[in-house]
Amino acid sequence: MLKIGSHVSMSGKEMFLASAKEAVSYDANTFMIYTGAPQNTRRKEISDLNIEAAKKFMKLQDLTDFVVHSPYIINLANSVKPDIFELAVRFLILEMERSVALGSNLLILHPGSHVGEGIDKGIKQVIKGLNEVFSNNSECLIALETMSGKGSELGCTFEELARIYDGVTHPERLRVCFDTCHVHDAGYDIIHDFDGVMEQFDHFIGKDQIAVFHINDSKNTMGAKKDRHENIGFGQIGFDALLSIVHHKDFVEIPKILETPYIPHPENSKKSYPPYKFEIEMLRTKTFRPNMKEEIIAAYQ
C-alpha cells in the first residue's frame, strides 16, 4: 500500500492530536512533524503534547505511520564552536526521547555544515557527535537526510553519507531520508535514470537503508546546489519522474512525505494554502492536474 503524507504542524491546545487531524484532512496515511519550531530549541514538556488523545484518534483512523524531523539548528558538523556542537548533541538526545514518547522510532537529521573547515573535518565531527548520541540507550534511529550541497553542508553525495556510516560505532542505528529535490539539486539524474542512481546508492550505502522519502519537485536545474522546493509537477524534476519514484516497486512500504510550498493567494500576499490534499490525490491517481494551483485557491475561498 502506498504510504504518502506531508509535513504537518504541531501547535495549539491539541498539539499532536492537531497534527494527526491535519494529516487526515489531506487524506494522508502517514505524516511528518517537528516537535517544535525547526529554527529554535524551545519545546513543550512531553506531558503537554496530548499524545494519548492523538494515539486514540490515529487508531480510529488507521493512521499508523509518522516520522519526526529534528530542527535545522542542530549542527553536529561544527568543529569551530564547541558550545554549538555540545548543544547539538544534547538537544538531539532530547529529540530522540521525544520521538519515542510520541510513538516514532525514526528521527530525520540534516548531517550538518562544516562551516568552512572542510568535508573531512566536518564528517569527523559528525561521527564524533553521533557516537556520543548513540552512547545513550534509545529505541530511536537517526535518518541522515540527503542534501543539495549548498554552502558548506554535508551529505550531498552518497559517498559522504557512507563515510558517516563507516565511522560510527553503531551504524545499525542509522538510516537515510532520501529527498528528491536535494538529490536532484546535488547533481544526480533522478529524472532519466532513477534506477541508475539507486544502483549508486545501493553500492555505497544499501537501498534497504532508505527509511523515508521526501517527495519534492525543484525550482532548479539538476546540479544547481540551491535547494528550492517546488510543487509536484511544476518544477524541473516533473510529475512523471516523481510519480515513478513514489510508485517504485522497491519502495512500496517506505513513507513518502511532501514538503512542497504553500500556494500563495494571487491578490493577498498574507494568505497561502496547503497543497497536500491535491498533490496526494494526483500521486495516488497518477493524474497530473495542470490547474492544481488555481483549484487550491478556489477550494479555500
Ligand-binding annotation for 185, yes or no, is: no
According to the CATH classification, is domain 4-300 in 3.30.1490.20? no
- What residue type is 241 in one-letter code? A
| Positions in the chain whose pLDDT score sits under 70 | none
Question: In this predicted structure, what is the pLDDT of residue 122?
Answer: 98
The Cβ of residue 189 has, within 10 Å, a number of other Cβ atoms equal to: 14
Dist. CA 143–CA 3, nearest whole Å: 18
For residue range 182-198, list pLDDT tens digits in order.
999 999 999 999 999 99
Per the listing, cell 498533490 goes with: 279
Take residue 136 and report the three cell numbers written for it: 545513550
Q: Which three cell numbers stand for residue 250?
A: 522497491
- Alpha carbon 173 to its chain centroid, in Å, reads 17
All structural domains of the chain with their residue ranges:
4-300
User: Can you give the pLDDT at residue 92?
Assistant: 95
Known binding residue 195? Answer is no
Cα distance between residue 244 and residue 132, in whole Å: 39
pLDDT score for 36: 85
pLDDT of residue 64: 85
State residue 74's pLDDT score. Answer: 93
- Is 139 marked within a binding site? no
Note whether 40 and 73 are within 8 A (CB).
yes
What's the pLDDT score for residue 42? 84
214 is in an annotated binding site: yes
Question: Residue 65, annotated ligand binder?
Answer: no
Q: Is 184 annotated as a binding residue?
A: no
Note the pLDDT tens digit of each residue in 80-103.
999 999 999 999 999 999 999 999
- Quick check: 154 and 147 in contact, CB under 8 A? yes
Report whether 248 belongs to an annotated binding site. no
What pLDDT does residue 132 have? 96
User: Residue 40: what pLDDT?
Assistant: 80
Residue 137: predicted pLDDT: 76
pTM as predicted: 0.96
Please give the pLDDT value at position 139. 86
- The torsion of the CA quartet 98, 16, 230, 220, rounded to 10 degrees, works out to -10
